[in-house]
A and B are shown apart, each in its own frame.
Chain A
Amino acid sequence: MANISVVRIKCELVKLLQSEEARQGWIKIELVNGSWTELRAEIIGPKDTPYEGGRFALEIKVPDDYPFEPPKVRFTTCIWYPNISFVSGMICQDKLKFSWSAAITLRTTLLSLQALLSAPEPNEPQNIVASTQYKEKHDLFIVTAKHWTAAYAGGSFSSADCDAKIQRCR
Protein backbone atom coordinates (compact mmCIF):
# COMPACT_ATOMS: atom_id res chain seq x y z
CA MET A 1 0.00 0.00 0.00
CA ALA A 2 1.33 3.42 -0.92
CA ASN A 3 2.94 5.22 2.01
CA ILE A 4 0.76 8.34 1.65
CA SER A 5 -2.45 6.31 2.08
CA VAL A 6 -1.20 4.46 5.17
CA VAL A 7 -0.05 7.68 6.86
CA ARG A 8 -3.33 9.32 6.06
CA ILE A 9 -5.52 6.40 7.23
CA LYS A 10 -3.60 6.27 10.53
CA CYS A 11 -4.12 10.00 11.12
CA GLU A 12 -7.77 9.80 10.10
CA LEU A 13 -8.49 6.90 12.45
CA VAL A 14 -6.92 8.70 15.40
CA LYS A 15 -9.01 11.81 14.70
CA LEU A 16 -12.16 9.82 14.00
CA LEU A 17 -11.88 7.88 17.26
CA GLN A 18 -11.49 11.18 19.14
CA SER A 19 -14.45 12.79 17.35
CA GLU A 20 -17.75 13.70 18.99
CA GLU A 21 -19.62 11.24 16.72
CA ALA A 22 -17.44 8.34 17.86
CA ARG A 23 -17.69 9.33 21.51
CA GLN A 24 -21.48 9.45 21.24
CA GLY A 25 -21.44 6.05 19.52
CA TRP A 26 -23.03 7.35 16.30
CA ILE A 27 -20.19 5.97 14.21
CA LYS A 28 -17.66 3.21 14.88
CA ILE A 29 -14.65 2.06 12.90
CA GLU A 30 -12.01 -0.66 13.26
CA LEU A 31 -9.32 -2.42 11.25
CA VAL A 32 -9.95 -5.86 9.78
CA ASN A 33 -7.05 -8.29 10.42
CA GLY A 34 -4.75 -5.40 11.30
CA SER A 35 -4.70 -4.26 7.68
CA TRP A 36 -4.83 -0.57 6.78
CA THR A 37 -6.59 -1.40 3.52
CA GLU A 38 -9.65 -3.05 5.03
CA LEU A 39 -11.87 -1.50 7.67
CA ARG A 40 -15.18 -2.28 9.26
CA ALA A 41 -17.47 0.59 10.23
CA GLU A 42 -20.87 1.04 11.80
CA ILE A 43 -23.30 3.93 11.56
CA ILE A 44 -26.61 4.42 13.32
CA GLY A 45 -29.78 5.16 11.40
CA PRO A 46 -30.65 8.87 11.42
CA LYS A 47 -33.51 10.20 13.54
CA ASP A 48 -36.94 10.64 11.94
CA THR A 49 -36.21 8.05 9.24
CA PRO A 50 -37.32 4.42 8.92
CA TYR A 51 -33.72 3.49 9.83
CA GLU A 52 -33.80 5.10 13.27
CA GLY A 53 -32.61 2.75 16.00
CA GLY A 54 -30.74 0.49 13.57
CA ARG A 55 -26.99 -0.09 13.50
CA PHE A 56 -25.68 -0.59 9.98
CA ALA A 57 -22.35 -2.30 9.37
CA LEU A 58 -20.18 -1.23 6.44
CA GLU A 59 -17.17 -2.74 4.73
CA ILE A 60 -14.55 -0.21 3.62
CA LYS A 61 -11.77 -1.11 1.22
CA VAL A 62 -9.09 1.57 0.89
CA PRO A 63 -7.32 1.68 -2.51
CA ASP A 64 -3.53 2.05 -2.80
CA ASP A 65 -3.91 5.51 -4.32
CA TYR A 66 -6.17 6.84 -1.55
CA PRO A 67 -6.97 9.75 -1.10
CA PHE A 68 -6.76 10.36 -4.84
CA GLU A 69 -9.28 7.57 -5.35
CA PRO A 70 -12.31 7.10 -3.08
CA PRO A 71 -12.62 4.15 -0.71
CA LYS A 72 -14.97 1.36 -1.83
CA VAL A 73 -17.80 1.20 0.68
CA ARG A 74 -20.68 -1.28 0.89
CA PHE A 75 -23.34 -2.06 3.47
CA THR A 76 -22.95 -5.52 4.99
CA THR A 77 -26.19 -5.12 6.94
CA CYS A 78 -29.28 -5.66 4.76
CA ILE A 79 -31.15 -2.41 4.23
CA TRP A 80 -34.31 -1.49 2.32
CA TYR A 81 -33.27 1.68 0.54
CA PRO A 82 -33.63 2.87 -3.08
CA ASN A 83 -29.95 3.70 -3.62
CA ILE A 84 -28.43 0.63 -1.94
CA SER A 85 -28.50 -2.90 -3.34
CA PHE A 86 -30.09 -5.29 -0.84
CA VAL A 87 -28.09 -8.14 -2.45
CA SER A 88 -24.54 -6.73 -2.49
CA GLY A 89 -24.89 -3.68 -0.25
CA MET A 90 -23.32 -1.52 -2.98
CA ILE A 91 -24.17 2.18 -2.90
CA CYS A 92 -25.32 4.03 -6.00
CA GLN A 93 -21.97 4.72 -7.71
CA ASP A 94 -21.96 8.46 -8.17
CA LYS A 95 -22.72 9.01 -4.50
CA LEU A 96 -19.07 8.46 -3.59
CA LYS A 97 -17.23 8.32 -6.87
CA PHE A 98 -18.30 11.56 -8.48
CA SER A 99 -18.55 13.72 -5.39
CA TRP A 100 -15.19 12.46 -4.14
CA SER A 101 -12.40 14.88 -3.33
CA ALA A 102 -8.94 14.30 -1.87
CA ALA A 103 -9.97 16.47 1.08
CA ILE A 104 -12.85 14.15 2.07
CA THR A 105 -12.07 11.87 5.01
CA LEU A 106 -13.43 8.55 6.27
CA ARG A 107 -15.31 10.49 8.93
CA THR A 108 -17.03 12.75 6.39
CA THR A 109 -17.69 9.70 4.19
CA LEU A 110 -19.50 7.92 7.03
CA LEU A 111 -21.42 11.05 7.98
CA SER A 112 -22.47 11.61 4.37
CA LEU A 113 -23.70 8.00 4.17
CA GLN A 114 -25.67 8.63 7.32
CA ALA A 115 -27.11 11.76 5.72
CA LEU A 116 -27.83 9.78 2.55
CA LEU A 117 -30.23 7.59 4.53
CA SER A 118 -32.30 10.72 5.23
CA ALA A 119 -32.56 11.72 1.57
CA PRO A 120 -33.13 8.87 -0.90
CA GLU A 121 -32.93 9.59 -4.63
CA PRO A 122 -35.37 7.15 -6.24
CA ASN A 123 -34.38 8.20 -9.77
CA GLU A 124 -30.91 6.64 -9.38
CA PRO A 125 -31.90 3.25 -8.00
CA GLN A 126 -29.79 0.30 -6.91
CA ASN A 127 -32.90 -1.41 -5.55
CA ILE A 128 -35.61 -0.96 -8.19
CA VAL A 129 -38.40 -2.46 -6.05
CA ALA A 130 -37.63 -0.14 -3.13
CA SER A 131 -37.34 2.79 -5.53
CA THR A 132 -40.72 2.09 -7.16
CA GLN A 133 -42.28 1.55 -3.74
CA TYR A 134 -40.78 4.83 -2.48
CA LYS A 135 -42.36 6.74 -5.38
CA GLU A 136 -45.70 4.96 -5.70
CA LYS A 137 -46.55 3.44 -2.29
CA HIS A 138 -44.61 5.59 0.12
CA ASP A 139 -46.37 4.37 3.28
CA LEU A 140 -45.61 0.77 2.39
CA PHE A 141 -41.98 1.73 1.73
CA ILE A 142 -41.72 3.26 5.23
CA VAL A 143 -43.16 0.14 6.87
CA THR A 144 -40.92 -2.21 4.84
CA ALA A 145 -37.81 -0.15 5.60
CA LYS A 146 -38.67 -0.09 9.32
CA HIS A 147 -39.29 -3.82 9.29
CA TRP A 148 -35.92 -4.52 7.60
CA THR A 149 -34.23 -2.23 10.10
CA ALA A 150 -35.77 -4.24 12.95
CA ALA A 151 -35.01 -7.60 11.34
CA TYR A 152 -31.41 -6.95 10.29
CA ALA A 153 -30.11 -3.86 12.09
CA GLY A 154 -31.52 -4.29 15.57
CA GLY A 155 -34.32 -1.72 15.31
CA SER A 156 -37.31 -1.85 17.67
CA PHE A 157 -40.17 -1.66 15.13
CA SER A 158 -42.68 -4.52 15.01
CA SER A 159 -45.76 -4.90 12.85
CA ALA A 160 -48.26 -7.75 13.14
CA ASP A 161 -49.25 -7.13 9.52
CA CYS A 162 -45.65 -7.58 8.31
CA ASP A 163 -45.17 -10.69 10.43
CA ALA A 164 -48.35 -12.22 9.03
CA LYS A 165 -47.25 -11.53 5.44
CA ILE A 166 -43.87 -13.15 6.10
CA GLN A 167 -45.54 -16.19 7.63
CA ARG A 168 -47.70 -16.53 4.51
CA CYS A 169 -44.57 -16.37 2.29
CA ARG A 170 -43.00 -19.23 4.23
Chain B
Amino acid sequence: MFCEKNNDLRDLVAKHPGLQVKHIKNKAYVISGVVFINEKWLRLKLYLPHFPELRDFQVHLQQQLEYKLYNHANLKVQSDSSLEDLLVQLAKMLPAPTVVDNAQSKQQNIYAEILNLHKPQEYRLQLDDRCSRIRFSNFADYDAHYLELELPSLRPLEHSLPDCVSLGEMLATSARSLGDALALYLRLLDELRPFYDSLADIDELCDVLEPSPITTKHNSRVFPLKDRVYLKLTIADPFASYGSMALQIIGPTEEVAQLRHVLSDGLGSWDMELDMHKNLLRIFDLCYFPMRGDLGQMQAASEEEQHCNICYVYRLDTGEVPLVSCDNSRCVLKCHAVCLKEWFDTLIDGKTFLEVSFGLCPFCKAKLSTSFAALLKT
Protein backbone atom coordinates (compact mmCIF):
# COMPACT_ATOMS: atom_id res chain seq x y z
CA MET B 1 0.00 0.00 0.00
CA PHE B 2 2.71 2.47 1.00
CA CYS B 3 4.70 1.44 -2.02
CA GLU B 4 1.83 2.14 -4.32
CA LYS B 5 1.25 5.44 -2.61
CA ASN B 6 4.88 6.45 -2.98
CA ASN B 7 4.78 5.54 -6.66
CA ASP B 8 1.81 7.84 -7.17
CA LEU B 9 3.67 10.67 -5.50
CA ARG B 10 6.88 9.90 -7.41
CA ASP B 11 4.96 10.09 -10.70
CA LEU B 12 3.36 13.36 -9.62
CA VAL B 13 6.71 14.97 -8.76
CA ALA B 14 8.26 13.64 -11.98
CA LYS B 15 5.44 15.17 -14.00
CA HIS B 16 5.40 18.45 -12.03
CA PRO B 17 8.95 19.23 -10.84
CA GLY B 18 7.70 22.44 -9.19
CA LEU B 19 5.89 20.45 -6.50
CA GLN B 20 7.25 19.35 -3.14
CA VAL B 21 5.76 16.50 -1.11
CA LYS B 22 5.97 16.37 2.66
CA HIS B 23 4.77 13.39 4.72
CA ILE B 24 3.24 14.53 8.02
CA LYS B 25 1.86 11.41 9.74
CA ASN B 26 0.09 8.16 8.82
CA LYS B 27 -1.74 8.94 5.58
CA ALA B 28 -1.45 12.74 5.82
CA TYR B 29 0.60 14.57 3.18
CA VAL B 30 1.20 18.20 2.24
CA ILE B 31 1.92 18.95 -1.42
CA SER B 32 2.99 22.51 -2.22
CA GLY B 33 4.59 24.48 -5.03
CA VAL B 34 3.88 25.47 -8.64
CA VAL B 35 2.35 23.39 -11.46
CA PHE B 36 1.62 24.13 -15.12
CA ILE B 37 -1.74 22.70 -16.23
CA ASN B 38 -3.99 23.67 -19.15
CA GLU B 39 -1.79 26.63 -20.13
CA LYS B 40 -2.02 27.99 -16.57
CA TRP B 41 0.43 28.27 -13.73
CA LEU B 42 -0.98 27.26 -10.34
CA ARG B 43 0.67 28.11 -7.05
CA LEU B 44 -0.88 25.95 -4.37
CA LYS B 45 -0.61 24.23 -1.03
CA LEU B 46 -2.60 20.98 -0.79
CA TYR B 47 -3.37 19.08 2.40
CA LEU B 48 -4.46 15.42 1.98
CA PRO B 49 -5.24 13.78 5.33
CA HIS B 50 -6.19 10.36 3.81
CA PHE B 51 -3.93 9.98 0.75
CA PRO B 52 -4.43 8.53 -1.83
CA GLU B 53 -8.11 9.30 -1.18
CA LEU B 54 -9.09 12.95 -1.65
CA ARG B 55 -11.48 12.82 1.30
CA ASP B 56 -11.37 15.99 3.54
CA PHE B 57 -8.80 17.64 1.26
CA GLN B 58 -7.93 21.33 1.71
CA VAL B 59 -6.18 23.38 -0.94
CA HIS B 60 -4.91 26.96 -0.80
CA LEU B 61 -4.76 28.31 -4.36
CA GLN B 62 -3.14 31.65 -5.22
CA GLN B 63 -5.46 33.87 -7.23
CA GLN B 64 -3.94 37.24 -8.10
CA LEU B 65 -2.21 38.30 -4.88
CA GLU B 66 -4.15 36.31 -2.31
CA TYR B 67 -4.64 32.65 -1.45
CA LYS B 68 -8.15 31.21 -1.53
CA LEU B 69 -9.16 28.09 0.34
CA TYR B 70 -10.98 25.28 -1.49
CA ASN B 71 -12.38 22.09 0.04
CA HIS B 72 -15.39 19.79 -0.42
CA ALA B 73 -17.70 22.66 0.49
CA ASN B 74 -16.81 24.89 -2.47
CA LEU B 75 -15.16 22.46 -4.93
CA LYS B 76 -17.08 19.36 -5.97
CA VAL B 77 -14.74 16.38 -6.49
CA GLN B 78 -15.80 12.80 -7.31
CA SER B 79 -14.92 10.31 -4.58
CA ASP B 80 -12.85 8.25 -7.04
CA SER B 81 -11.05 11.25 -8.59
CA SER B 82 -7.28 11.19 -8.76
CA LEU B 83 -4.92 13.90 -7.63
CA GLU B 84 -4.33 14.86 -11.28
CA ASP B 85 -8.10 15.33 -11.76
CA LEU B 86 -8.12 17.67 -8.78
CA LEU B 87 -5.29 19.76 -10.25
CA VAL B 88 -7.09 20.01 -13.60
CA GLN B 89 -10.24 21.11 -11.82
CA LEU B 90 -8.27 23.75 -9.89
CA ALA B 91 -6.84 25.06 -13.16
CA LYS B 92 -10.41 25.71 -14.30
CA MET B 93 -10.90 27.99 -11.29
CA LEU B 94 -8.32 30.45 -12.62
CA PRO B 95 -9.08 33.01 -15.35
CA ALA B 96 -7.68 32.42 -18.82
CA PRO B 97 -4.16 33.81 -19.35
CA THR B 98 -4.10 37.29 -20.85
CA VAL B 99 -2.81 37.62 -24.38
CA VAL B 100 -0.66 40.68 -24.96
CA ASP B 101 -1.85 42.44 -28.10
CA ASN B 102 0.19 44.80 -30.24
CA ALA B 103 -1.32 47.93 -28.75
CA GLN B 104 -0.36 46.76 -25.30
CA SER B 105 3.14 45.74 -26.28
CA LYS B 106 3.52 49.11 -27.95
CA GLN B 107 2.58 50.72 -24.66
CA GLN B 108 5.19 48.61 -22.89
CA ASN B 109 7.81 50.41 -25.00
CA ILE B 110 7.36 53.29 -22.57
CA TYR B 111 9.98 51.61 -20.41
CA ALA B 112 12.49 51.81 -23.25
CA GLU B 113 11.56 55.48 -23.63
CA ILE B 114 12.49 56.12 -19.99
CA LEU B 115 16.12 55.31 -20.82
CA ASN B 116 16.14 57.97 -23.54
CA LEU B 117 14.64 60.54 -21.16
CA HIS B 118 17.39 60.16 -18.58
CA LYS B 119 19.02 63.62 -18.66
CA PRO B 120 20.56 64.40 -15.25
CA GLN B 121 21.72 67.87 -16.37
CA GLU B 122 18.15 68.99 -17.13
CA TYR B 123 16.09 67.29 -14.41
CA ARG B 124 16.03 64.48 -11.91
CA LEU B 125 14.21 61.29 -12.93
CA GLN B 126 12.99 58.76 -10.36
CA LEU B 127 11.17 55.44 -10.75
CA ASP B 128 9.46 53.43 -8.05
CA ASP B 129 10.44 49.78 -7.41
CA ARG B 130 7.59 48.39 -9.49
CA CYS B 131 8.18 50.81 -12.38
CA SER B 132 4.58 51.96 -12.04
CA ARG B 133 5.34 55.62 -11.23
CA ILE B 134 7.84 58.06 -12.70
CA ARG B 135 8.77 61.40 -11.17
CA PHE B 136 10.51 64.34 -12.82
CA SER B 137 11.83 67.02 -10.47
CA ASN B 138 14.59 69.61 -9.92
CA PHE B 139 14.18 71.03 -13.43
CA ALA B 140 17.11 73.22 -14.45
CA ASP B 141 15.02 76.42 -14.74
CA TYR B 142 12.19 75.46 -12.40
CA ASP B 143 13.77 74.00 -9.31
CA ALA B 144 10.60 73.80 -7.18
CA HIS B 145 8.52 72.01 -9.80
CA TYR B 146 7.80 68.31 -10.18
CA LEU B 147 5.64 65.95 -12.20
CA GLU B 148 4.69 62.42 -11.20
CA LEU B 149 2.96 60.11 -13.68
CA GLU B 150 1.47 56.65 -13.50
CA LEU B 151 2.99 54.12 -15.90
CA PRO B 152 2.10 53.11 -18.49
CA SER B 153 -1.17 55.12 -18.50
CA LEU B 154 0.58 58.55 -18.17
CA ARG B 155 -2.13 59.66 -15.74
CA PRO B 156 -0.78 62.52 -13.55
CA LEU B 157 -0.55 61.47 -9.90
CA GLU B 158 1.11 64.60 -8.51
CA HIS B 159 2.30 67.84 -10.00
CA SER B 160 3.39 71.30 -8.92
CA LEU B 161 1.11 73.40 -11.12
CA PRO B 162 -1.83 75.29 -9.58
CA ASP B 163 -4.92 73.14 -9.02
CA CYS B 164 -6.89 75.28 -11.45
CA VAL B 165 -4.68 73.99 -14.30
CA SER B 166 -6.38 70.86 -15.66
CA LEU B 167 -3.18 68.97 -16.43
CA GLY B 168 -4.93 65.58 -16.58
CA GLU B 169 -7.18 66.67 -19.44
CA MET B 170 -4.30 68.28 -21.31
CA LEU B 171 -2.17 65.14 -21.08
CA ALA B 172 -5.07 62.91 -22.10
CA THR B 173 -5.71 64.91 -25.27
CA SER B 174 -2.20 65.74 -26.44
CA ALA B 175 0.35 63.36 -24.89
CA ARG B 176 0.84 60.12 -26.83
CA SER B 177 4.12 59.18 -25.16
CA LEU B 178 6.13 59.89 -22.03
CA GLY B 179 8.29 62.29 -24.05
CA ASP B 180 5.15 64.17 -25.15
CA ALA B 181 3.95 64.40 -21.55
CA LEU B 182 7.25 65.84 -20.36
CA ALA B 183 7.46 68.27 -23.29
CA LEU B 184 3.91 69.47 -22.60
CA TYR B 185 4.70 69.99 -18.92
CA LEU B 186 7.84 72.00 -19.72
CA ARG B 187 5.90 74.10 -22.23
CA LEU B 188 3.26 74.83 -19.56
CA LEU B 189 6.00 75.90 -17.15
CA ASP B 190 7.29 78.37 -19.76
CA GLU B 191 3.79 79.73 -20.30
CA LEU B 192 3.31 80.10 -16.54
CA ARG B 193 6.53 82.05 -16.04
CA PRO B 194 4.77 85.48 -15.92
CA PHE B 195 2.32 84.10 -13.33
CA TYR B 196 5.10 82.80 -11.09
CA ASP B 197 7.23 85.93 -11.57
CA SER B 198 4.33 88.19 -10.52
CA LEU B 199 3.71 86.18 -7.36
CA ALA B 200 7.44 85.92 -6.62
CA ASP B 201 7.61 89.74 -6.35
CA ILE B 202 4.66 89.73 -3.95
CA ASP B 203 6.22 86.93 -1.88
CA GLU B 204 9.52 88.76 -1.63
CA LEU B 205 8.29 92.30 -1.05
CA CYS B 206 5.09 91.78 0.96
CA ASP B 207 4.42 90.10 4.29
CA VAL B 208 2.39 87.19 2.89
CA LEU B 209 0.26 85.75 5.70
CA GLU B 210 -1.66 83.19 3.67
CA PRO B 211 -1.11 80.66 2.21
CA SER B 212 1.50 79.11 4.45
CA PRO B 213 3.72 77.53 3.41
CA ILE B 214 3.62 79.09 -0.06
CA THR B 215 3.90 76.49 -2.81
CA THR B 216 3.84 76.57 -6.60
CA LYS B 217 0.25 75.26 -6.45
CA HIS B 218 -1.21 78.37 -4.78
CA ASN B 219 -2.77 81.06 -6.94
CA SER B 220 -3.72 83.55 -4.20
CA ARG B 221 -1.94 85.67 -1.58
CA VAL B 222 -3.15 87.56 1.49
CA PHE B 223 -0.90 90.32 2.82
CA PRO B 224 -1.28 93.47 4.98
CA LEU B 225 -2.21 96.75 3.35
CA LYS B 226 -2.27 98.73 6.61
CA ASP B 227 -3.09 98.10 10.26
CA ARG B 228 -6.04 95.63 10.43
CA VAL B 229 -6.59 95.85 6.65
CA TYR B 230 -5.45 93.16 4.22
CA LEU B 231 -5.37 92.62 0.49
CA LYS B 232 -6.25 89.29 -1.08
CA LEU B 233 -4.86 88.81 -4.57
CA THR B 234 -6.19 85.88 -6.61
CA ILE B 235 -5.21 84.90 -10.14
CA ALA B 236 -8.03 82.70 -11.39
CA ASP B 237 -6.35 81.75 -14.69
CA PRO B 238 -2.56 81.49 -14.35
CA PHE B 239 -2.17 81.62 -18.15
CA ALA B 240 -3.73 85.11 -18.21
CA SER B 241 -2.42 86.67 -14.99
CA TYR B 242 -3.59 90.25 -15.52
CA GLY B 243 -6.86 89.40 -17.20
CA SER B 244 -7.99 87.07 -14.42
CA MET B 245 -6.60 88.97 -11.44
CA ALA B 246 -9.05 89.66 -8.58
CA LEU B 247 -8.27 91.98 -5.67
CA GLN B 248 -10.29 91.93 -2.47
CA ILE B 249 -9.85 94.34 0.42
CA ILE B 250 -10.46 92.79 3.81
CA GLY B 251 -10.91 94.70 7.05
CA PRO B 252 -13.21 96.99 9.06
CA THR B 253 -16.24 98.25 7.11
CA GLU B 254 -15.42 101.96 6.71
CA GLU B 255 -11.81 101.48 5.74
CA VAL B 256 -12.76 98.78 3.24
CA ALA B 257 -15.35 101.10 1.66
CA GLN B 258 -12.79 103.92 1.24
CA LEU B 259 -10.07 101.65 -0.12
CA ARG B 260 -12.45 100.02 -2.59
CA HIS B 261 -12.96 103.42 -4.20
CA VAL B 262 -9.20 103.95 -4.32
CA LEU B 263 -8.77 100.50 -5.88
CA SER B 264 -11.46 100.88 -8.54
CA ASP B 265 -10.00 104.27 -9.57
CA GLY B 266 -6.48 102.83 -9.65
CA LEU B 267 -7.37 99.76 -11.70
CA GLY B 268 -8.47 102.10 -14.49
CA SER B 269 -4.91 103.40 -14.82
CA TRP B 270 -3.13 100.03 -14.55
CA ASP B 271 0.26 100.23 -16.28
CA MET B 272 1.02 97.06 -18.26
CA GLU B 273 4.70 98.06 -18.40
CA LEU B 274 5.00 97.75 -14.63
CA ASP B 275 4.84 94.51 -12.67
CA MET B 276 1.91 93.63 -10.41
CA HIS B 277 3.65 94.69 -7.19
CA LYS B 278 4.60 98.15 -8.50
CA ASN B 279 1.10 98.72 -9.86
CA LEU B 280 -0.42 97.91 -6.48
CA LEU B 281 1.96 100.30 -4.72
CA ARG B 282 0.96 103.02 -7.20
CA ILE B 283 -2.76 102.38 -6.72
CA PHE B 284 -2.60 102.64 -2.92
CA ASP B 285 0.00 105.43 -2.99
CA LEU B 286 2.53 103.46 -0.93
CA CYS B 287 6.31 103.27 -0.99
CA TYR B 288 6.15 99.68 0.23
CA PHE B 289 3.66 97.26 1.74
CA PRO B 290 3.97 96.93 5.53
CA MET B 291 6.16 94.10 6.75
CA ARG B 292 6.05 92.40 10.16
CA GLY B 293 7.11 94.93 12.76
CA ASP B 294 5.96 97.96 10.73
CA LEU B 295 2.43 97.80 12.09
CA GLY B 296 1.83 98.89 15.67
CA GLN B 297 -0.12 95.81 16.57
CA MET B 298 2.49 93.53 15.03
CA GLN B 299 5.44 95.07 16.81
CA ALA B 300 7.37 92.44 18.72
CA ALA B 301 4.19 90.42 18.97
CA SER B 302 4.92 86.74 19.07
CA GLU B 303 2.63 84.30 17.33
CA GLU B 304 1.28 83.28 20.71
CA GLU B 305 0.18 86.81 21.54
CA GLN B 306 -1.58 87.13 18.18
CA HIS B 307 -3.52 83.90 18.60
CA CYS B 308 -7.18 83.59 17.62
CA ASN B 309 -9.51 84.66 20.42
CA ILE B 310 -11.79 81.72 19.68
CA CYS B 311 -9.56 78.68 19.16
CA TYR B 312 -6.41 80.09 20.87
CA VAL B 313 -4.17 78.92 18.03
CA TYR B 314 -2.15 81.19 15.73
CA ARG B 315 -1.82 79.21 12.52
CA LEU B 316 -4.37 76.51 11.69
CA ASP B 317 -3.42 73.30 9.87
CA THR B 318 -4.90 74.88 6.74
CA GLY B 319 -2.37 77.73 7.05
CA GLU B 320 -4.95 80.32 8.07
CA VAL B 321 -3.95 83.02 10.57
CA PRO B 322 -6.24 85.24 12.68
CA LEU B 323 -6.97 88.34 10.59
CA VAL B 324 -10.57 89.19 11.46
CA SER B 325 -11.12 92.27 13.60
CA CYS B 326 -14.30 94.25 14.19
CA ASP B 327 -15.27 97.83 13.38
CA ASN B 328 -14.42 98.98 16.91
CA SER B 329 -10.78 100.11 16.69
CA ARG B 330 -10.33 99.72 20.46
CA CYS B 331 -11.48 96.09 20.51
CA VAL B 332 -8.74 93.49 20.89
CA LEU B 333 -10.56 90.80 18.90
CA LYS B 334 -8.45 88.88 16.40
CA CYS B 335 -9.66 85.56 15.06
CA HIS B 336 -9.75 83.17 12.13
CA ALA B 337 -12.54 83.64 9.62
CA VAL B 338 -13.45 79.93 9.93
CA CYS B 339 -13.72 80.14 13.72
CA LEU B 340 -15.92 83.20 13.46
CA LYS B 341 -18.10 81.54 10.83
CA GLU B 342 -18.54 78.51 13.08
CA TRP B 343 -19.53 80.83 15.93
CA PHE B 344 -22.12 82.63 13.79
CA ASP B 345 -23.47 79.31 12.54
CA THR B 346 -24.24 78.23 16.13
CA LEU B 347 -26.15 81.41 16.95
CA ILE B 348 -29.93 81.39 16.82
CA ASP B 349 -29.87 84.92 15.41
CA GLY B 350 -26.80 84.34 13.21
CA LYS B 351 -27.56 85.58 9.72
CA THR B 352 -26.58 84.25 6.34
CA PHE B 353 -26.71 86.40 3.23
CA LEU B 354 -25.60 84.95 -0.11
CA GLU B 355 -23.99 82.09 1.86
CA VAL B 356 -21.91 84.54 3.92
CA SER B 357 -22.43 84.25 7.68
CA PHE B 358 -22.15 87.51 9.52
CA GLY B 359 -22.98 88.96 12.91
CA LEU B 360 -21.53 90.98 15.75
CA CYS B 361 -18.13 90.88 17.39
CA PRO B 362 -18.13 88.18 20.10
CA PHE B 363 -16.16 90.57 22.34
CA CYS B 364 -17.68 94.01 22.05
CA LYS B 365 -20.78 93.39 19.89
CA ALA B 366 -19.58 95.93 17.29
CA LYS B 367 -20.27 95.27 13.60
CA LEU B 368 -18.06 92.84 11.73
CA SER B 369 -17.34 93.57 8.09
CA THR B 370 -18.64 91.04 5.55
CA SER B 371 -15.36 91.55 3.66
CA PHE B 372 -13.83 88.83 5.85
CA ALA B 373 -15.87 86.25 3.92
CA ALA B 374 -13.11 86.50 1.29
CA LEU B 375 -10.84 84.62 3.70
CA LEU B 376 -13.10 81.58 3.82
CA LYS B 377 -11.89 78.73 1.62
CA THR B 378 -14.47 78.08 -1.05
Contact = CB atoms under 8 A, between A and B. Distances in A.
11 contacts: A4-B311, A4-B313, A7-B311, A7-B313, A8-B310, A8-B311, A11-B312, A101-B363, A102-B310, A103-B361, A104-B362
Given A102-B310, A103-B309, A68 B362 contact: no
A94 B346 CA distance: 16
Given A11-B307, A68-B343, 20 more contacts: A4-B311, A7-B311, A7-B313, A8-B310, A8-B312, A11-B312, A12-B312, A65-B346, A67-B310, A67-B311, A67-B343, A68-B342, A68-B346, A101-B343, A101-B363, A102-B339, A102-B343, A102-B362, A103-B361, A103-B362
A4 B362 CA distance: 17
Nearest to B361: A103
Contacts of B333: 103
Given A68-B343, A68-B346, A103 B310 contact: yes
Contacts of B309: 102-103
A101 B362 contact: yes
Contacts of A8: 310-312
Q: Main SS of the interface on chain A?
A: loop
A101 B340 CA distance: 11
A65 B363 CA distance: 19
Interface residues of B, number: 14
A69 B347 CA distance: 9
Contacts of B313: 4, 7
A67 B346 CA distance: 10
B332 to A, nearest CB: 9
Interface in A39-79: 65, 67-69
A165 to B, nearest CB: 46
B311 A69 contact: no
Closest A-B pairs by Cβ, 8 of them: A103-B362, A101-B362, A11-B312, A102-B343, A68-B346, A103-B363, A8-B312, A102-B310
Q: How large is the interface on A (under 10, 10 to 19, 20 to 34, 35 or more residues)?
A: 10 to 19
Interface of A: 4, 7-8, 11-12, 65, 67-69, 101-104
A104 B363 CA distance: 8
A3 to B, nearest CB: 9
Contacts of A12: 312
B136 to A, nearest CB: 38
Nearest to A14: B312
B322 to A, nearest CB: 12
A130 B114 CA distance: 88
A164 to B, nearest CB: 51
A69 B346 contact: yes
Contacts of A65: 346
Contacts of A67: 310-311, 343
Nearest to B332: A103
Interface in B279-316: 307, 309-313
Contacts of A101: 343, 362-363
A7 B363 contact: no
Most buried by A among B310, B312, B339: B312
Contacts of A69: 346
A27 to B, nearest CB: 19
A91 to B, nearest CB: 20
Interface string B325-355: 0000000010000010011001000000000
Contacts of B362: 101-104
A12 B312 CA distance: 9
A79 B310 CA distance: 32
A12 B313 CA distance: 12
Nearest to A9: B312
A12 B333 CA distance: 16
B91 to A, nearest CB: 55
A119 to B, nearest CB: 20
Nearest to A15: B312
Contacts of B346: 65, 68-69
Nearest to B309: A103
Contacts of B312: 7-8, 11-12
Contacts of B363: 101, 103
A11 B333 CA distance: 17
A67 B342 CA distance: 10
Contacts of A102: 309-310, 339, 343, 362
A106 to B, nearest CB: 12
A65 B339 CA distance: 12
B317 to A, nearest CB: 9
A11 B361 CA distance: 21
A64 B334 CA distance: 23
Nearest to B364: A103
Contacts of B361: 103
